[in-house]
Amino acid sequence: MNTVSAVLPNYNYGKYLSSRIDEILSQTYPISELIILDDASTDNSVEIIRQKIAEVKKLHPNLVIKTIFNKSNSNNVFSQWQKGIALATSDYIWIAEADDVASKHFLEFVMRPASSHKDLVLSYSNSKYITEHNKLSKKDSLRKMKDFFRKRHISRNYIIDGKDELNKNLAIYNTIPNVSATVFKNQPSLAKFLDEAKVYKLSGDWFFYIKVAETGKIAYCSKTLNSHRLHSTSVTTSTSLKQRYREMEHIHNFVKNQSFITTSTKSRMAKLEASLKKHWEC
């Protein structure tokens, strides 16, 4: 069975930490190690982490637990991902952000394709949005929102070569809900991919998924097994929309230079750019 390292990055999400760790440890597909990172939180996160680890060690004495407590804030989420990945020794990595929520069956389903596809480099599930108070934020899951061209590509499970996935969807726009909904293969190139992703303020995760997808197969599970939390302080402004558009253009230009990208894919990129440029008034 392929092993999984759960990397838990945290910054000021103390109120969610205890339940999040319980979710991770309650997975029906067990993790082999838990890596907790705190990015110099100003709330009581560090105290909660230390207390929780003491409890976990009693209940799971054989579980490997690693921690990093930053003395100063890194101000870069990808730096935290890199630290966690550097410590991970398992076959696959799950970056389980501290404020998100997972079904206990999340790993069971997203890891299933890895048993028969040795070249699987990324697997993810459908997600929904929740509020700070665990209420459903959207009536539907992310299926409709991520199906811009109405191809119904995420209405059912699939396993596909990563380069084919890029041509169908992922090179055009980010179809992956958020990092907590994914597991990806532990490979040396991940650190380099994240270094390159740091160029982007808003779309670095999308760039990271693109780079990973180029290296193997991708699997998708249509079950809604992840909940991505939206916070009232996360306000989308016209400035951030323009920044996101500029980053999308930059990523499109990068991907267009890849030899496997088809003329049809480039055409769909242009269509999306034209639509969003008008909508976001860039």
pLDDT grade, residue 132 (50/70/90)?
confident
Calculate mean pLDDT across residues 109-124. 97
Higher per-residue confidence, 34 vs 144: 34
Q: What pLDDT, on a 0 to 100 scale, did the predictor assign at position 237? A: 59
Q: What is the CATH number of the domain that holds 64?
A: 3.90.550.10
Total domains, the chain: 1
Calculate mean pLDDT across residues 49-64. 97
Mean of the per-residue pLDDT values for the chain?
Answer: 92
pLDDT tens across 18-53, in order? 999 999 999 999 999 999 999 999 999 999 999 999
Q: Give long-range contacts, CB 8 A cutoff, 24+ apart: 19-22.
A: 20/96, 20/98, 20/99, 20/100, 20/101, 21/52, 21/56
Higher per-residue confidence, 99 vs 133: 99
- pTM score, whole prediction: 0.93
Higher per-residue confidence, 29 vs 279: 29
Q: What pLDDT, on a 0 to 100 scale, did the predictor assign at position 147? A: 64
Q: In this structure, are strands 217-229 and 158-161 parallel, antiparallel, or unpaired?
A: antiparallel
Q: What pLDDT, on a 0 to 100 scale, did the predictor assign at position 143? A: 61
Q: What pLDDT, on a 0 to 100 scale, did the predictor assign at position 130? A: 83
Q: What pLDDT, on a 0 to 100 scale, did the predictor assign at position 135? A: 77
Higher per-residue confidence, 45 vs 156: 45
Per-residue pLDDT for 172 more than 60? yes
Q: What pLDDT, on a 0 to 100 scale, did the predictor assign at position 229? A: 87
pLDDT tens across 207-259, in order? 999 999 999 999 999 999 999 888 766 655 567 888 999 999 999 999 999 99
What domain range is 99 assigned to?
4-280
Per-residue pLDDT for 88 more than 90? yes
